[in-house]
Structure 1
Amino acid sequence: MTSGDGTRPGTIRTPDQRLRVFVSSTLRELEAERRVARASIERLRLAPVMFELGARPHPPRELYRAYLAQSDVFVGVYADSYGWVAPGEQISGLEDEYRLAPREMPKLIYIRHSTQRDTRLDALIDRIRDDDTASYRSFTGTEELAELVEADLATLLAERFDAGRDAGGTTATTDPLAARIPSPFTRLIGRDRAVADVLDLLGGGQTRLVTLLGPGGIGKSRLAIAVAEAASEMYPDGTIFVMLENVLEPDLLLPTIGYALGIRDTAEVPLERRLALALEGRRMLIVLDNFEQLVQAAPVLVQLYTIAPDASFLVTSRSILRIRGERVYDVAPLATHDPASPASVSRALSSAAVELFVERARAVKPDFELSASGGAAVVGICRVLQGLPLAIELAAARMRVLTPESILRRLDKQLPLLVDSSRDLPERQRTLRSTIEWSTGLLRESERELLFDLGVFSHGFTLESVEELGAGRAWEGTAMDGLAALVDSSLVDQQDIDGESVFSLLSTVREYAVGELRARGEDQRMRAAHARLYAALALREAPRLGGPEQRAAVARLNLERSNLRSGVRHLIFMEDFATASTVAWRLYLYWWIGGYLSEMALWMQEMLDRGGGDTPFARAVARYYVLWKEMFGTQTPTAVDGFCEVSDLFAEAGEAMGSAMALATAGLAQITAGDADFDTAAERLWRGAEGFRAAGARWGEVLILVALGRLEWLRRRDDDALAMFQRALDASLAAADEFTATVAAHHLARALLRGGRVEDALRVYIEGMAGSVALDNDEGIAYSLEGLCSIAALDGDVERAGVLAGAAAAIRKRTGQYDAPAFVFHTRDLEPLATGPTGAALQAAIDRGREYGAREAAEYALAGVRERAAGATTTPPVSRPAARAGT
């Protein structure tokens, strides 16, 4: 007799490789019987394989065939009904399952007493009675059935154990491939490149051990199955797949591998010797799945290099093994967007994460289709869940009762929503919480404490910030080693950005960590410490923002921009309005460069609403940001008077530069709002310039020179506007301030283009684009795109003009940073192309451009124009207007 997995009787599996028992019956008729059969199977620590427990992305026949292919024992429970016969089929699924069970698979059949059994079921039972591979018994009730199933399975296991005894004790009489590659229940999505990469590592001949590393739920085991299947030609002696999820003692590692090979551990011959004999000369792949709880036993694998010199090892683990010969492959989350255009929803709809969600949603809701609004919500779900496959599957399972939009709304608290996975998964993978708890349970106490404290960080933080947060904590002074352990355990992600290590937690891990802090009553204390930490960082970097160190300061702040923003937000929540307003004002240039002025306006309005304007300085800062948004958003005429009042408030607070900025902005507001009193606007701007000069803030002077140039533009004094913009650019270059240089360059290029000097304008736009990209300044990129759009339109290049216009519009919409209508001219240059035969082509190009990301659009814009610009004449010095007294 052979076993259900095709091996001879010598194979006895340890608990980590539980026998799988396929249960066949009608569903509704025998619901109670199926329930007790399952309980009996689980009491013996075996794995029930039952049709209704799995997802159904495939036709039923394909699904139960896959279930049977990975099962070891067939249990049939029959009563009255023969079962449903599907259209086009000749027999029911019940009979088909029995026919499909391999002849060598043990079959235990239980027949309930009946007086009204279907004729076709009687015929099937008669066939079973004649089958010498099947055992059948009758029963009357569920209690009797439970006893029969449990007793018969126990006897079957004992018989297999006895049959496995051999006299020599060297190797069992078994097929060496006893531990088959598990049959996957679902299609692998988004991992083609990963499979190819791992095969390359294994196939190079130099790698003995590849570790698939990643957090729980990332899909390591599924990837390992795919690699093992794809590697069959590389390993002529086959693959064994050893599941270690229930093996907790390091001493059981070698015996477990031995059992998978059909080798029993006896005292007669050392296990290592028997393994060496069994593996001698075999070129095979040994897959060790879920190794993280056995990392202390990792050195044993080095012994296997000698014992099995022709074998390769593929390990899945949440922790690095840190042994010789190990090559680590980080299993990444599924893509949730097109990296070239992260904000594009239409491109994200074809991402692997969305594909997975849709497939799993259809498994529980077959008629699910992506609608326009539903598609955007699904993209949002996948982004919130950061492409984590298990989290996406759990969210998709909620589609039976929720819409994508309602799931997305509930994801602000993820862990309670993401529960109830398939019952045949290990307990530690049935919810994200249990998955995370499994990982944290493998940490030292100090590492757990560190992880929980890291929950207060937003995405992206540095070792320096963690060390500062550790003051007074139990893990103080051990941040580097603790972070390394958490990274090795796949609970913290590490990336290299511009030569710096930046760390992040998955949002699900962060929520779990904050929950632990809250349970201990420490969450507010740690959030306050986090807010103070980033306030200190802001004040350290602020002095470098206006001048030659600007790019370095922006880069440093960008590393932790999410934490900076959440820090300011929490300062307001704590009602530390003095610190919040100080940070908000000192980082004024950074918020502008990063496109966060509208966001700051919202926070400052909240601060005012909470009573945070009780000092002149705090009120001045808050009102300045709110008025700024009004000036470029609704263009409220009262903004001019408001900025004048803010200037007085700053002066009252002793903030001279703030007073100068507010006064100058009042002048700018007059220009933006189209106020005809240009003389008053100019007066305020010049006074603001004097204030900046007195404060030594050259960047402020440059911005005021640009504003004065805009004023001359509105007065139709084109030569004076051109001269003022050139003067602003020269001043910014002298001050080595890249940001104000890009602002001045964009305005200068506009003036050149308006004056018909297209080639010179093109050169300046390219310079402005380069500076904006270097500073990660999307508004500056939009200005360059609009200018280059005008040039393309003048050339009659419909495709190029449309794409650039669409890309610029998308940036404006996303950042909320718009220019005053009087200074928007690229739309007028598009008008001739928008009419007549080119209108449809232009609109199609604009629509395509809206899907471009900022960097992608910048690359597109510059492609092919640099060579043209190289032939442009050098812009000659322009005449400057007479210097005003004191300037």
Structure 2
Amino acid sequence: MILVTRGLRAPVDCKFPGWRRSRVLDLPTGTITLLFTDIEGSTLLLQHIGEQYSHVLAQCRQLLHAAFQRFHGHEVDTQGDAFFFAFARATDAVSAAVAAQRILASHTWPNQAVVRVRMGLHTGEPQQTADGYVGLDVHLAARLMSVGHGGQVLLSQTTRHLVEHTLPDGVSLRDLGEHRLKDLRHPSHLFQLVIGGLPADFPPLKTLDTHPHNLPIQPTPLIGREREVAAVQQLLLREDVRLLTLTGPGGSGKTRLGLHVAAELSDHFTDGIYFVNLAPISDAELVVPTIAQTLGVKESPTQSMVEQLQAFLQEKLLLLVLDNFEQVVSAACILSDLLARCSHLKLLVTSRAVLHLAAEHEFAVPPLSLPDLNHLPDLVTLSQYEAMALFIARAQALKPDFQVSNASAPAVAEICTRLDGLPLAIELAAARIKLLPPPALLARLGQGLAVLTSGVRDAPARQQTLRNTIDWSYQLLDTDEQRLFRRLSVFVGGCTLQAIEAICTALDTQTPAVSVLDGVASLIDKSLLRQIEQEAAEPHFAMLETIHEYGREALAASGEAEVTPQAHAAYYLALAEAAEQAWNGPQQAVWFGRLEKAHDNLRAAMNWLLERGEAEKALRLGTALWWFWYAQ
């Protein structure tokens, strides 16, 4: 995962959750060697020595710092038990790592503690920013460290080429072969320093090659999502959680989050992790054969495919990642049967709709973090917000000289906010940056979803435009759900269940309230509607703005674009007049609160009445609301 903080990026599992500003003027530039370190098993060490841990940590920092500075190392950051140093010469970096390991091994630690530090070195040309370094070179160096073991020093092939003929005395290189590192597209050829007098044999590297898997290689690093990755990992590692469903609207990043978590947990599932893509199928009967084909389970004339699959999985400690389950949700009961017969199996499902199974735990994938448009921070802090960081990264992939300036920052922040922090929408918007500068792109967003199309040919068709992504969800609804979804798009800024029921009753007298209630619940389950106030006596619901825009387009295409706003205006006129009658009564504060929450809808109703020449009703609405506006 790429962590973006103060302009510096590195894997979150490398213990750098926040980067402290360094003296950038002192850092080397050009081709440099990056060195990451951390203490293996620091949590267990803390539990073992208790209060002495802070003393041990201080000693470890002092020893490492001295060794690295002795060989001209430049400190980029220190966070907890982790160091990040940069060296102008690869030979200095290797000498520093060797010296540090020898010093650590000979040091006498309090309480007979065993302190083992893993290290990773990579040479490249990372981009220097106002606060350090960014780029894949930083990411690769940190990943090298994270796959090693305490006492082990790992080198990339680039660093090995530079130092193989000038190694320190008593040091040699061991070729560890090619390994797949998390989040990197291509295998990396890794080498280990063999330091005379120190342990040289370690367990297998903690790479994606350790246990069987078929996880697809991701073309770009994951940006942000530190909290979500940690939370999903914790859930999957709980004994009582065997089925976890990642839910969210299309484009919210469910698949990417699921794949990243699966890769992070590869050491915990010794029989493998397997990704099953269900997007190409729509027949629930094909779910079992698709899983079986992914696992290499062959057909048998004596057993059904379900029985063969159960027999294959029965004793295996294995994680199945079932992607895009929403269009085969009727096959959900099959998952319950698998879990009942395969005691070590766990399932991670991505779906736009919950499965409604007894064993299911749901994790709703939130939008990326967004800044407050009314209080934008400085540029460095602004780039820490996940939505902003994603937009910048994708824009720079297409236009390397793209930078967010004080002039363009408000537009970029508003673009990300208008797109609800949805990763897919932000990526599609950033793809337009070669043609449209941020202010022009923002203006285009006001004209609908047409601007959010992709130039990426290898993306699935449903993800090549935002409209296709939402349409995928819309087409999975039944006729009644589609009609309710279209009607809900008439509301602005959210609405109450009472308002939904009133408008549906006005438009269709045959629809009972209970059907509306079930329909609302179904749209929430399918990630097309959100409940935005759960504690209030009167629950409120809203759509993400991108989904709302699609709903308005669908409403216009359905022929209901006139009668639905008419029913909407009639309801809010009645609400305002009821509030006026209660203004001097004991419920004045309650009615004032209702009108405050309904203000966007009241304004929309007024605008519609005026546009249609309904002067008498517009006057009635204004008259009913005068006291409310005056009190505001």
TM-score clears 0.5: yes
Verify: 1:488 aligned to 2:488, yes or no: no
Shift of 1:304: 0.5
Deviations 1:272-327 (A, max 9, x none): 33323322332221110110011000000000012321111110001111111111
Matches within 5 A, 1:436-451: 436-451=470-485
- Counterpart of 1:577, as a letter, is A
Please show how residues 130-529 of structure 1 align to structure 2 within 5 Å: 180-338=214-372, 343-346=374-377, 350-473=384-507, 476-477=511-512, 478-495=515-532, 496-529=534-567
Change (3 A) 1:486 1:176: farther
1:561–1:258 CA distance, 2 compared to 1 (3 A) = same
Q: C-alpha displacement at 1:555, in angstroms?
A: 2.3
Contact 2:247–2:352, Cα closer than 8 Å, also in 1: yes
Alignment of 1:540-559 (within 5 A): 540-546=578-584, 548-559=586-597
Give the counterpart letter for 1:260 in structure 2.
T
- Does the C-alpha gap of structure 1 residues 481 and 428 become closer, same or farther in structure 2, counting only changes over 3 Å? same
Instruction: Measure the CA separation in 1 of the matches of 2:484 and 2:217.
Output: 39
Paired residue secondary structure (1:227) = helix
For residues 271 and 521 of structure 1, do their structure 2 counterparts lie closer, same or farther at Cα, with a shift above 3 Å needed?
closer
- The equivalent of 1:24 in structure 2 is none
Q: Per-residue deviation at 1:265?
A: 2.3
**Residues 407 and 520 of structure 1: CA distance in aligned 2, closer, same or farther (over 3 Å):** same
Q: Is residue 210–residue 267 contact of structure 2 (8 Å, CA) maintained in 1?
A: no
Distance, in Å, in 2 between the alignment partners of 1:572 and 1:102 is 69
**Equivalent residues of 1:337, 1:351 under 8 A apart:** yes
Mapped contact 1:349–1:375 kept (Cα < 8 A): no
| Cα distance between partner residues in 2 of 1:335 and 1:570 | 34
Name the CA distance, whole Å, in 1 between partners of 2:550 and 2:223: 27
- 3-state DSSP class of the match of 2:316? coil
Q: 1:178–1:260: 8 Å Cα contact kept in structure 2? A: no
**What is the identity, as a one-letter code, of the residue corresponding to 1:515?**
E
Matches for 1:49-88 after TM superposition, within 5 Å: none
Cα drift, residue 449 of structure 1: 1.3
Query: Is 1:591 the counterpart of 2:629 in the alignment?
Result: yes
Structure 1 position 574 matched with structure 2 position 612: yes
Query: What is the distance in 2 between the residues matched to 1:476 and 1:219?
Result: 36
Q: CA deviation at 1:546?
A: 4.6
Structure 2 counterpart of 1:476, which letter? T
CA pair 378-555 structure 1, distance change in 2 beyond 3 A: same
Contact 2:506–2:567 (Cα < 8 Å) also in 1: no
Aligned partners of 1:466, 1:352: CA distance in 2, in Å? 34
Partner AA of 2:417 in structure 1: R
Structure 1 residue matching 2:539: 3-state secondary structure: strand
Q: Which residue of 2 aligns with 1:628?
A: none
Query: Structure 2 CA distance, aligned partners of 1:383 and 1:486?
Result: 23
Cα distance in 1 for residues equivalent to 2:465 and 2:410:
25
Q: Which has the higher helix share?
A: 1
The 3-state SS of whatever aligns with 1:471 is helix
Seen in structure 2, the aligned counterparts of structure 1 residues 582 and 395 have a Cα distance that, compared at 3 Å, is same
Q: CA deviation at 1:59?
A: 6.6
Amino acid across the alignment from 1:307 = R
What is the deviation of 1:348?
5.3
Distance between the aligned counterparts of 1:464 and 1:264, measured in 2? 54
Q: Size of the alignment, in residue pairs?
A: 434
Change (3 A) 1:238 1:395: same
SS of 1:587's equivalent in the other structure is helix
Query: 2:215 and 2:593 mapped to 1: Cα distance?
Result: 48
Secondary structure at 2:432 match in 1: helix
Deviation of the 1:592 alpha carbon: 4.4
TM-score of the superposed pair, with normalisation by structure 1: 0.46
Matches within 5 A, 1:761-800: none
Check whether the contact 1:502–1:559 (CA below 8 A) recurs between aligned residues. Answer: no
Please give the residue correspondences for 1:437-836 in structure 2 after superposition, counting only pairs within 5 Å.
437-473=471-507, 476-477=511-512, 478-495=515-532, 496-546=534-584, 548-594=586-632
Q: Secondary structure at the match of 1:314?
A: strand
* Preserved contact between residue 189 and residue 352 of structure 1 (Cα < 8 Å): yes
Q: Looking at secondary structure, tell me which structure has more strand per residue.
A: 2
> Is contact 1:180–1:241 with CA below 8 Å preserved after alignment?
yes
Shift of 1:429: 1.0
Q: Deviations over 1:683-721 (max 9, x none)?
A: xxxxxxxxxxxxxxxxxxxxxxxxxxxxxxxxxxxxxxx
Closer/same/farther in 2, CA of residues 584 and 298 from structure 1, 3 Å limit: same
CA distance in 2, matches of 1:532, 1:472: 9
RCO greater where, 1 or 2, for CA within 8 Å and sep 6 or more? 2
Q: Which sits farther off after the overlay, 306-315 or 473-482?
A: 473-482
What is the CA distance between 1:417 and its match in structure 2?
0.3
SS at match of 1:312: strand
- Correspondences of 1:9-24 after superposition (within 5 Å): none
Structure 2: distance between partners of 1:223 and 1:304: 24
Q: Which amino acid aligns with 1:490?
A: S
Q: Deviations 1:753-801 (Å, cap 9, x if unpaired)?
A: xxxxxxxxxxxxxxxxxxxxxxxxxxxxxxxxxxxxxxxxxxxxxxxxx
Residues 590, 351 of structure 1: alpha-carbon distance in 2 compared, 3 angstrom cutoff: farther
Distance 1:193 1:578, change over 3 A: same
Aligned partners of 1:472 and 1:366: how far apart in 2?
Answer: 55
Aligned to 1:751: none
CA-CA distance at 1:349 after TM superposition: 5.2
Greater CA drift, 264-273 or 487-496: 264-273
Deviation at 1:389, TM superposition (A): 1.1
Structure 1 segments of 4+ aligned residues over 6 angstroms from their partners: 57-60, 175-178
CA offsets 1:122-154 (integer angstroms, 9 cap, x no match): xxxxxxxxxxxxxxxxxxxxxxxxxxxxxxxxx
Work out which of the two has the higher radius of gyration on C-alpha atoms and give 1 or 2.
1
Deviation at residue 578 of structure 1 after TM alignment: 2.6
**Are the aligned partners of 1:428 and 1:434 in contact in 2 as well (CA < 8 Å)?**
yes
Name the SS of the counterpart of 1:245 in structure 2: coil
Which letter maps to 2:313? L
Bigger drift between 519-528 and 300-309 goes to 519-528
Q: Letter of the aligned partner of 2:290 in structure 1?
A: T
Secondary structure of 1:316's counterpart equals strand
How many Å apart are 1:212 and its aligned residue? 0.5
| More displaced stretch, 527-536 vs 233-242 | 233-242
CA distance in 2, matches of 1:177, 1:319: 31
Using the TM superposition, give the Cα deviation of residue 453 of structure 1 relative to its aligned residue in structure 2, in angstroms: 1.7
SS of 1:194's equivalent in the other structure is: helix
| Preserved contact between residue 211 and residue 270 of structure 2 (Cα < 8 Å) | no
Cα distance in structure 2, aligned partners of 1:366 and 1:571:
49
Give the distance between the partners of 1:473 and 1:216, measured in 2 at CA.
Answer: 29
Gaps spanning 5+ residues in structure 2: where?
A: 1-133, 144-157, 163-176, 180-208
How much does 1:524 deviate? 2.4
What is the rounded CA distance, in whole Å, between the counterparts of 1:217 and 1:521 in structure 2? 28
What amino acid does structure 1 have at the position aligned with 2:403?
A: E
Aligned-pair CA distance for 1:510:
1.9
Give the share of equivalent positions with the same residue, in percent: 37
Mapped contact 1:208–1:305 kept (Cα < 8 A): yes
2:347 counterpart SS class: strand
